[in-house]
Amino acid sequence: MMPLVLLDYSSTLVFALTGALVASRAQLDVVGFAFLAGLTGLGGGTLRDLLLDRTPIWIADPTYLAVVTGAAVLVFFTAHLIESRLKAIYWLDALALGIAVAAGSGVAQRMGMPAEVVLVMGIATGCAGGLARDVVANEVPLVLKQGELYVTCALAGSLATVVADTLGAPPALTAALAAVVTIGLRAGSLALGWKLPVYRPRPPRSR
């Protein structure tokens, strides 16, 4: 149990930082920071818990609310020290995505869900908070940015959970693998431009 709870705390914290940074770009007040931090930090886990008929994490354990509030206050008073807030959002989001994918797929795995559901739960937990943040703040959703890997990273990380668990890896190793695969792919996309072929109106071989 322990590792999954730690993953939920960590992804909540890091996603909350990205929400607060988006709030700083929209020049909100500190309560607005906390609102976007909470939406981003808790959105994915809450969706997962509603879908799996569990009590949402922050209702079962209000410590999560202290985490997002702390993250919001921290960013409100220190964001001006960050050189590029946009860059910070991208990289923190990558980190949070990996942790959340591990948490989401891990919980579904532990509940004995079939592999397909584990994959989707990893993707949904990883992507929902950031998607809500971007839709509410009217930014282009990261999940839909053309020519970048995003959902693909979440899918690969969830797949790592399924494979590692099938091979009998202990939960902590499984979670670490899922996070590393997700973050590694996303980092490769951000830093090195890794991508999959995108749809083009005419297929490559037709002239």
Instruction: Give residues in contact with a copy of itself (CB under 8 A).
Output: 23-24, 26-36, 38, 46, 50-53, 55-56, 58-59, 62, 65-66, 76-77, 79-80, 113-114, 116-117, 119-120, 123, 127, 131, 135-138, 140-141, 143-144, 146, 149, 151-152, 155, 195-203, 206
182: tokens are: 């997700």
CB-wise, 48 or 177, nearer to a copy of itself? 48
- In the complex, what is the shortest distance from the CB of residue 152 to a copy of itself, in angstroms, rounded to a whole number? 4
CB-wise, 113 or 172, nearer to a copy of itself? 113
- In the complex, what is the shortest distance from the CB of residue 174 to a copy of itself, in angstroms, rounded to a whole number? 20
Taking the C-alpha atoms of residue 127 and residue 43, their distance in angstroms, rounded to an integer, is: 9
CB-wise, 92 or 148, nearer to a copy of itself? 148
Q: Do residues 21 and 85 lie in contact, with contact meaning Cβ atoms separated by under 8 Å? A: yes
Taking the C-alpha atoms of residue 13 and residue 74, their distance in angstroms, rounded to an integer, is: 11
Taking the C-alpha atoms of residue 50 and residue 33, their distance in angstroms, rounded to an integer, is: 25
- In the complex, what is the shortest distance from the CB of residue 92 to a copy of itself, in angstroms, rounded to a whole number? 17
The torsion of the CA quartet 136, 47, 43, 12, rounded to 10 degrees, works out to -160
State phi, psi for 168 to the nearest 5 degrees.
Answer: 85, 20
